[in-house]
Amino acid sequence: MGYGRSSSNRMHERLVVGRWRGPILCRITEQTAASAFDIGEREVASATRGTSQAALARQAGMYLAHVACGLSLTEVGRLYARDRTTVAHACAVIEDRRDDPSFDRAMSALEYAVRQLGAKLTGPLQ
């Protein structure tokens, strides 16, 4: 008999990852943003705006989910419990801040990290 997983097990794993792909990627972006902005993960996931630092971290997380992970604005909004227009605003805020070279370098590094980790856990992104 074989030593590897059966094809039905591999198919089941793909379905499970497929179903949980969005939430997994959302969690990755929340954790990445919290770490990068030196705030708690709960602040990023909070239903309220919180501090300006927490709001910026949340906006960065939503931006990463959309740009680095390729999730739609609607899906990011659902995962972050926000309206898609709020996600669009968050992406615009981060894009505007990327005019600052140091912020742009930091976001580029975060995008790379999220893409690498996301691909490792859920398969190729974009």
Extents of the domains making up the chain: 22-122
pTM attached to this predicted model? 0.81
Across the range 94-121, mean pLDDT stands at: 91
As a whole number, the mean pLDDT across the chain is 83
Rounded Cα–Cα distance for residues 114 and 37 (Å)? 15
pLDDT at 12: 44
Question: What backbone torsions phi and psi does residue 34 show, to the nearest 5 degrees?
Answer: -60, -45
Q: Averaged over 15-30, what is the pLDDT? A: 72
How many CB atoms lie under 10 A from the CB of residue 11?
11
User: Counting beta carbons within 10 angstroms of the beta carbon of residue 33, is it exposed (0 to 12), middle (13 to 18) or buried (19 or more)?
Assistant: buried
More confident: 16 or 32: 32
- Which residue type does 72 have? S
**CATH value of 22-122 in 1.10.10.10, 1.10.1750.10, 3.40.50.2000, 3.90.226.10:** 1.10.1750.10
